[in-house]
Structure 1
């Protein structure tokens, strides 16, 4: 298997670049502006399906310059959060796609005051979003705050398990939240396995959100590989320029595939 699983935006040139690699999965990273043309989102999903490519969407991270937070005190941010989730749930159900969503991003209210009480409040707000569709949303972890494995000891027991919450596990976010500890990363990958439907594979030095190509950070990919390779994932690497050239993602796919090939040789 080639493991060509990529991320991009809705620009046709960007999509054409990804499709030229004959991918298995493409995730469309959406902006606030993209929600104003929902037919375009549907068209891009259909282009993927016509090529036999599985489609994921990524919920917009910002509204009017402010990062989203499901516990935001800004009523306009909350309104956009829920209206956009409801719209994307409808698109995903009708077009057979899934959508990555964050409960919050860094530098938001949910990154401070991590308590069991606030974790329970987070759970009930997530439950409201799940009511739009239980099947399409896969919830991604942050590097800090309430929805961070390294920062919130209550997250799995008080949110994920009671809701049987479908997850996107971002391997680098988890690694960073544990300050570069591969053993703790392994523990979370095992504990979240019953709920994880999707993964973001990206390397990191474990200190900040650096989004490195696989093999250029400190994540133990030989440990990670058998825990994720039979589920859906993409290689989510920071790109330069206008993001039209996804070579670092494709090179990461080759790196991942080479690990698989090396281990197969080693077992013969």
Structure 2
């Protein structure tokens, strides 16, 4: 397999760049401004369908410059979180797409006071948002806070009771696990029943660095069999206007090479 599974934005030159690689899956990273043009979002999803590409959306990360948090103390942020989620749920239902959504980002209100009680509070807020269209949302972990795998209560008190569909970001989980591949393996094994989608990204395990595969410390031979057969993309940080996705393509080649080497070793 060539594993061309890529991420981009709604700009046509960006879409054309990704489609030139004949991807299997493409994820559109949306901004607050993009949600003002829902017809454009629909058009881009339809472009992918015509090419036989599976579409994912990514919920906007910010509102008026502030990172989103489902438990934000800012009522405007919480209102936007719900309104934008409801809009994207409707688009995804009608256009046959799925949507990645964060409960919160790093350095937001949900990154303090990591307790069982606060985890349960987060669970009930997620339950309310998931009700807009449970079948289209996949929930992505953060590098820190309540919805990170550094929270010892996350899996048993939130994910399992909700049977929550997940997007596991491997680099986020690695960072939350302190750069420990053994702890990362445990997270990937414990979340397998709920994971529908993965972001494959390398990291040194210290900060959010979004490295191409092979340039960090993640053990991809360990990760590969645990994500095989599921949807994923290579979510690598890009330079400039993000129109050139070469680091993602290189990561796809790296992942395919890991598989090829494992096949040879198994003979």
TM-score tier, shorter chain, comes to: over 0.9
Structure-2-length-normalised TM-score:
0.99
User: Counterpart in 2 of 1:252?
Assistant: 251
Residue-by-residue CA offset, 1:119-161 (whole Å, 9 max, x unaligned): 11000000000110110000000000000112x1110011000
Moved more, 183-192 or 257-266: 257-266
User: Counterpart in 2 of 1:222?
Assistant: 221
User: Counterpart in 2 of 1:237?
Assistant: 236
CA–CA separation in structure 2 for the residues paired with 1:147 and 1:135: 20
Q: Give matches, 1:39-118, under 5 Å.
A: 39-118=39-118
Please give the secondary structure, in 2, of the residue aligned with 1:27. strand
Please give the secondary structure, in 2, of the residue aligned with 1:240. coil
CA–CA separation in structure 1 for the residues paired with 2:118 and 2:178: 24
CA–CA separation in structure 1 for the residues paired with 2:20 and 2:4: 11
Residue-by-residue CA offset, 1:212-234 (whole Å, 9 max, x unaligned): 00000000000000110210000
CA–CA separation in structure 2 for the residues paired with 1:234 and 1:32: 22
CA–CA separation in structure 1 for the residues paired with 2:266 and 2:71: 49
Residue-by-residue CA offset, 1:197-244 (whole Å, 9 max, x unaligned): 000000000000000000000000000001102100000000000000
CA–CA separation in structure 1 for the residues paired with 2:187 and 2:43: 36
Where does the alignment leave 5 or more consecutive residues of structure 2 unmatched? none
User: Counterpart in 1 of 2:265?
Assistant: 266
User: Counterpart in 1 of 2:125?
Assistant: 125
CA–CA separation in structure 2 for the residues paired with 1:229 and 1:120: 31
For the aligned residues, what is the CA RMSD?
Answer: 0.5
CA–CA separation in structure 1 for the residues paired with 2:145 and 2:76: 22
User: Counterpart in 2 of 1:158?
Assistant: 157
**Cα offset, 1:261, TM superposition:** 0.7
User: Counterpart in 1 of 2:148?
Assistant: 148
Residue-by-residue CA offset, 1:75-97 (whole Å, 9 max, x unaligned): 11011100000000000001000
Structure-1-length-normalised TM-score:
0.99
| Residues paired across the two proteins, number | 267
User: Counterpart in 1 of 2:11?
Assistant: 11
**Cα offset, 1:179, TM superposition:** 1.3
Please give the secondary structure, in 2, of the residue aligned with 1:57. strand
**Cα offset, 1:178, TM superposition:** 1.1
User: Counterpart in 2 of 1:23?
Assistant: 23
Please give the secondary structure, in 1, of the residue aligned with 2:144. coil
Runs of 4+ aligned residues of structure 1 deviating over 4 Å after TM superposition are: none
CA–CA separation in structure 1 for the residues paired with 2:83 and 2:158: 22
User: Counterpart in 1 of 2:199?
Assistant: 200
Q: Give matches, 1:133-144, under 5 Å.
A: 133-144=133-144
